[in-house]
Structure 1
Amino acid sequence: MSDLYFGTELFSELDRLQRQMSTLFGGFPSSLRSSRLGTFPPINIGATDDTIEIVAFAPGIDATKLDISIDKGLLTIAGERTSSLRHSAESRRAYAQERFAGSFRRAVELPQHADPDKVQARYVDGCLLISIGKREASKPRAITVE
């Protein structure tokens, strides 16, 4: 029998520490140019055989004031969201304010096979949908055997 005894308090403390560390370090971005959690607008990125699809969740924005650009493999989304409150700031007392208002800029590093000449963007129901075509050389193709 061992002289060491670890009570259940130690294991519950280790579990608590592990949960805290997961919360603290679990939200790191997958790319160095990605941003931390809570950044506006939040985005989803996916791909098909022909395109890279990016959805930016940006409700309450005038689509004509969005600035989308691609430069050196970096997609940048910039714009401004105005406050939804109609009262002047002087006469209003906010008890809680969770909705972001102000200017924003979000940059996403694109894969090398993204073709910056094949970009389409549309704003539908508060979502900015960006579709970027892939270069022809990177698309899957069948090869016939002779």
Structure 2
Amino acid sequence: MSDLYSGTDLFSELDRLQRQMAGLFGGLPSSIRSGNAGAFPQINIGATDDSIEIVAFAPGIDAAGIDLSIDKRLLTIAGERKPARPDASGDIRDDVRTYAQERFSGAFRRVIELPQNADPDKVQARYTNGCLSITVGKREASKPRAITVQ
């Protein structure tokens, strides 16, 4: 067993190998449906018969600081997430030197192309528990309807 184990942490070596492989492929997505690894906020998009449903996961942001707009068929979500370094009292500390940081902070912008049947006049948005839920209605002409056969 001592010949196989060189004294280094096996998980660190696997992590290093994974980073090297990701760099080798230039960070290409693993599938067509994969998005940018660093994209913020992460989103889920779905549809019902009446609407397009978008959920953007954006914890730690004040709802008043989120800019949401539609121009042509492009929905833009923009804002800024402030860095958080709370002390025991909950106040933000400026004297902390950060050695590792996994939480994104700073300005962000995410643009989503809506389908042609989206109605930009029928948009509702609400921000609850770090999730921005956006409902975009569909145009009446695009909704399914029953046709009576005579």
Q: In the alignment, what sits opposite 1:81?
A: 81
What letter is aligned with 2:53? Answer: E
- Number of residue pairs matched? 121
Mapping for residues 53-64 of structure 1, pairs under 5 Å: 53-64=53-64
Q: In the alignment, what sits opposite 2:65?
A: 65
Relative distance call for 1:66 and 1:92 in structure 2 (3 A) is same
Cα offset, 1:45, TM superposition: 0.2
What letter is aligned with 1:115? Answer: D
SS of equivalent residue, structure 2 residue 64: helix
For 1:47 and 1:24, locate their aligned partners in 2 and report how far apart those are by CA, in whole Å: 27
Gaps of 5+ in 2: 1-20, 86-91
Identity %: 66
> Is structure 2 residue 147 aligned with structure 1 residue 108?
no
**Would you say the 8 A contact 1:27–1:36 is kept in 2?**
no
Q: In the alignment, what sits opposite 1:121?
A: 125
**Would you say the 8 A contact 2:29–2:36 is kept in 1?**
no
For 2:97 and 2:83, locate their aligned partners in 1 and report how far apart those are by CA, in whole Å: 14
**Would you say the 8 A contact 1:28–1:36 is kept in 2?**
no
For 1:66 and 1:28, locate their aligned partners in 2 and report how far apart those are by CA, in whole Å: 29
Q: In the alignment, what sits opposite 2:45?
A: 45
Relative distance call for 1:45 and 1:84 in structure 2 (3 A) is same
Cα offset, 1:105, TM superposition: 0.5
**Would you say the 8 A contact 2:79–2:108 is kept in 1?**
yes
Cα offset, 1:68, TM superposition: 0.2
Cα offset, 1:25, TM superposition: 3.8
Q: What's the TM-score, normalizing by structure 1?
A: 0.77
Q: In the alignment, what sits opposite 1:14?
A: none
Cα offset, 1:28, TM superposition: 5.0
> Is structure 2 residue 144 aligned with structure 1 residue 140?
yes
